[in-house]
Structure 1
Amino acid sequence: MTSEVQVEVAIIGAGVAGLALANILEQANISYFVLESYRAIAPPGAASIGLMPNGLRILDQIGVYEKLMEHAVPHDYFEHRDGDDGTLYGVLTAGRHLTTLLGYSSHAIPRQTLLKILYENLPDKSKVRASSRVSKVETSETNAVVTTEDGFQVTCDIVAGVDGVHSAVRREIEAYVGVTPSPDYLASRSACIFGCSNRVAGITGGQFFNSHRKDTGLFILTGKDDRPYWFLFDDFKEPIKYKETPKYTPEYVEALAEKSKDIIITPGVTFSDLYAHRRDVTTVSLEEGIAAVWHAGRMFLAGDACHKMVPNGAMGGNQAIESVASFVNHYRQLRARHPNQPIPLAELNTALESYTDERRRPVTHHVEKSCFLRDALLKRGPNIEGYLQGLSKGNIWDGLYKLAEPMSRAIRLEDWHKKTERTEFYERQAAKMREGLALPSILEEGRGVKG
């Protein structure tokens, strides 16, 4: 491989957002190159990802939905309990109606599986380069140049910073505009042990469990072959600034697991059962927040690089996929006005401002919602007790509406060449929701449609 390539879009990061963006650009005939700092694409690990209808619709548009479903089971049961005494706060079954409502259900799969499927769907793997940590980005009126630590360069029209919470592109944007992040941006209020376990008696595929407990909370989602993916939270009490969080030793993990062993998941099952059957664990601090600046020069951000969510609510990956789809929608309009010509910087920045305006409000909602759900899990905050008591009083329509209404306004790839029965059904049903039609009537019209 040469030490320099020239493309339209340099993608920094080969995570969910980066590989989804690469697939979209590939199918839109927009040239790209992916730089990944890690030494491997789709590395193994304990992390799972929740796939929701809004993300699945876009993944369907790029042709990977069927492959994903080989590794998934739909979720239709969500149980909330007190982690200390097992009191049942509520059982939510709204999720079992998602397929009838929008054409897709919700699922949990290993994050590595999604990355592998996205990577394998790319026809030319030479466009993805691992072990390529970005050292600098130079942007001008006519182009941008990305240089890695080993001297490899990509010259491009635009740089997509989808390189995660520790984004090198975000640092370049902040330096470019002279912005200093606020002290609380990307602060961590909790740590989390991500784990996956072998099958545990009493837990079956398609179930969610929330065990609410002061200081240490637990939530579980189960996938194919009844495999549990779990998230054990440790409350920091006070926020810890970005990059000041502690290193997590095996002793820390064992101590937290011991402290949490008696958390009740469901009758007859405690966290000690999960931990005894563990396969992999990873411990991280959970940064959270929205970046003040999303673009500058010929650079822009998407995913965790600018809208970092805690895992509660399972929207981080889905919102990242929506964001890169939004960018491509705006970028394709620019290319249509400037075929086979460089895109003027002023027009590019106008488009990126429109992209930011389109995405900032919905991702802010999901960042705030995910934090609230995490706080509810840890029983902290002034409104949590009312929320927990209200879980037993809600009805199926309230639960389904709260779950699906934001997804009725989700981003899709516009004017896309590939359509499926599901993608078209989603849009018809979402339009009815946006028009204010009652959910029972929308569901009735959707019965018999395959997901």
Structure 2
Amino acid sequence: MTATTPLKVIIIGGGPIGLTLAQILTSAGVDFTILERRSTVTPEEGAGIAIGPTSFRLYDQLGLLPQMEAISTPIPHKHVLQRDGKVYNSYEFHLRACHGRAMAFLHRLDLVTTLFSTLPDSAKAKIHVNKSLSDITLTPEGVTVTCADGTSYNGTLVIGADGVHSKTRKIMNSLSNAPESETLPFETTFQGLFGNFPRLSLPGSEIEPGHDWECHSGGVSSQFFVGRDRGWFIIYRPLPGGPTRERIDYTDEDIKQFAEDVKDMHVTNKLTFGDVFKNVNKAGLTQLQEGAVKNRSWKRIGLVGDACDKITPNVGLGYNNGVLDVIVLGNLLKKLNESGEEITEEKVGKLFKEYQAERKEFSEKVDDAARGVIRTVTHTGFMKYLLDRWINPVLGLDKLYGSKVMGPLMAKQQVLEWLEEKNGIDGSIPWAHKGLVVTKA
């Protein structure tokens, strides 16, 4: 590829991470195409998504902060209870003090709708739906991506943002002759029942916006987030039959049976899950994979988000971890696009290696934290029960770990190098990287 030929990125997957990358590349002046297998990039799903300070910094840089604040609810408070509803721990999350902003929760549909609708028309025209990935071919000049409908797209490189069951990853592993262990890199030990409900459908002051209620008990745990207009829940329990690396497809009957099994479990100090499920808008059941691929790229193919690093949602960092992936790639791609050099396979490979190295430490810490938390809240073993029920409430280990371990690590993560942060988000731990500093006359 010659220096006069512009960089073009083909993104597989138009979900939250794919659309976030589209926003970044649009700002960076990097050409792209998104190929989404579904008929829309804004499907109605029951899930909620947690947004952390690092993602809000990106929204500030992209000019999306007002829109994201309008559709999300800060969740600074956490209450932990037994299955019978007795609260045994309650505190404020460390994020606001450490980083200047609390974790917020919003509806997945609202997130993808906002990310899509705020793109310029020229960028929206680059998003193609009903495009199921069939194959990826490397050429001397770049890549050719073929879809199941027979259409093909040419570009410089491919980024797989197509989730935990990534077809991009499967093709990349096949082309690179990856070891068999990379074919199914994630293991499922837990499953999760998730959904949402209208907030005003339930009575009580305990469902005022801004609270996270968590039931921690032997073999099952819940998270119950309360927003302005709706609430979201997810119930965790070990996978019946034990861990697996195979894909599981669930039915409506599976959802009903799970809900029946946990209907007596309190999700707040007054409400049981049975009370909530009567008013549910939409619910789903999913396996909760854990793990990370050994290599996030091969030659001109790279992976982001759940396609390469899957964590359970109990720590609220799944989407945020993927956002950090595309921030790092955005910075690297902008530099490559403006280098004026021939974009060779070697240069693309170097870019992907820099990306993997930058993301290594944070991703590994998040993976470890999520693994520990889900086993602690479900009291998997006596020591986990002892830690959660007695030691943590007395010593405040959650807040200590958040402020002394994860807080400094989060503060080291990148922002976009070419955009200003107009609404500086600061806390007690200073950010290592700042956006473009604009000198005002």
TM-score (norm 2): 0.89
How far apart, in 2, do the equivalents of 1:164 and 1:359 lie?
Answer: 18
How far apart, in 1, do the equivalents of 2:208 and 2:413 lie?
Answer: 30
Q: 2:395 aligned with 1:394, yes or no?
A: yes
How far apart, in 2, do the equivalents of 1:385 and 1:397 lie?
Answer: 18
Q: 2:235 aligned with 1:232, yes or no?
A: yes
Is the 8 Å Cα contact of residues 50 and 109 (structure 1) preserved in structure 2?
yes
Aligned residues: 418
Structure 1 residues 175-254: aligned runs within 5 Å:
175-182=174-181, 185-199=185-199, 200-201=202-203, 202-225=206-229, 227-236=230-239, 239-245=242-248, 247-254=249-256
In structure 1, the gaps of 5 or more residues are 1-5, 433-451
Is the 8 Å Cα contact of residues 104 and 422 (structure 1) preserved in structure 2?
no
Q: 2:408 aligned with 1:409, yes or no?
A: no
Q: Counterpart of 1:182 in 2: which secondary structure?
A: helix
**Once the 2 structures are TM-superposed, how far is the Cα of residue 87 of structure 1 from its aligned partner?**
3.9
Q: Counterpart of 2:250 in 1: which secondary structure?
A: coil
Instruction: Give the match for residue 18 of structure 1.
Output: 18
**Once the 2 structures are TM-superposed, how far is the Cα of residue 234 of structure 1 from its aligned partner?**
2.7
**Once the 2 structures are TM-superposed, how far is the Cα of residue 229 of structure 1 from its aligned partner?**
0.4
**Once the 2 structures are TM-superposed, how far is the Cα of residue 209 of structure 1 from its aligned partner?**
1.3
Match of 1:291 among 290, 293, 311: 293
Structure 1 residues 329-344: aligned runs within 5 Å:
329-337=331-339, 339=340, 341-344=341-344
**Once the 2 structures are TM-superposed, how far is the Cα of residue 240 of structure 1 from its aligned partner?**
3.6
Q: Partner amino acid for 2:295?
A: V
How far apart, in 2, do the equivalents of 1:122 and 1:89 lie?
Answer: 45
Is the 8 Å Cα contact of residues 255 and 284 (structure 2) preserved in structure 1?
no
Is the 8 Å Cα contact of residues 16 and 320 (structure 1) preserved in structure 2?
no
How far apart, in 2, do the equivalents of 1:390 and 1:359 lie?
Answer: 32
Q: Deviations for 1:3-28, whole angstroms, at most 9, x for unmatched residues?
A: xxx96100110111100101100011
How far apart, in 2, do the equivalents of 1:57 and 1:286 lie?
Answer: 28
Is the 8 Å Cα contact of residues 7 and 154 (structure 1) preserved in structure 2?
no
Stretch moving more, 9-18 or 177-186: 177-186
Is the 8 Å Cα contact of residues 189 and 244 (structure 2) preserved in structure 1?
no
How far apart, in 2, do the equivalents of 1:254 and 1:78 lie?
Answer: 28
Is the 8 Å Cα contact of residues 12 and 35 (structure 2) preserved in structure 1?
yes
How far apart, in 1, do the equivalents of 2:31 and 2:403 lie?
Answer: 40
In structure 2, the gaps of 5 or more residues are 1-5, 434-441
How far apart, in 2, do the equivalents of 1:57 and 1:427 lie?
Answer: 16
Instruction: Give the match for residue 132 of structure 1.
Output: 131
How far apart, in 1, do the equivalents of 2:421 and 2:314 lie?
Answer: 31
Q: Deviations for 1:53-100, whole angstroms, at most 9, x for unmatched residues?
A: 0111112211212101111221121011122x33433112134xx445
How far apart, in 2, do the equivalents of 1:70 and 1:91 lie?
Answer: 27
**Once the 2 structures are TM-superposed, how far is the Cα of residue 399 of structure 1 from its aligned partner?**
5.9
* CA-atom RMSD in angstroms: 2.2
Structure 1 residues 275-424: aligned runs within 5 Å:
275-337=277-339, 339=340, 341-381=341-381, 383-388=383-388, 389-395=390-396, 398=400, 401-402=403-404, 404-414=407-417, 416-422=418-424
Instruction: Give the match for residue 162 of structure 1.
Output: 161
Instruction: Give the match for residue 109 of structure 2.
Output: 112
Q: Counterpart of 1:353 in 2: which secondary structure?
A: helix
TM-score (norm 1): 0.87
**Once the 2 structures are TM-superposed, how far is the Cα of residue 37 of structure 1 from its aligned partner?**
0.6
Q: 2:273 aligned with 1:274, yes or no?
A: no
Stretch moving more, 264-273 or 390-399: 390-399
Q: Partner amino acid for 2:131?
A: S
Stretch moving more, 404-413 or 70-79: 404-413
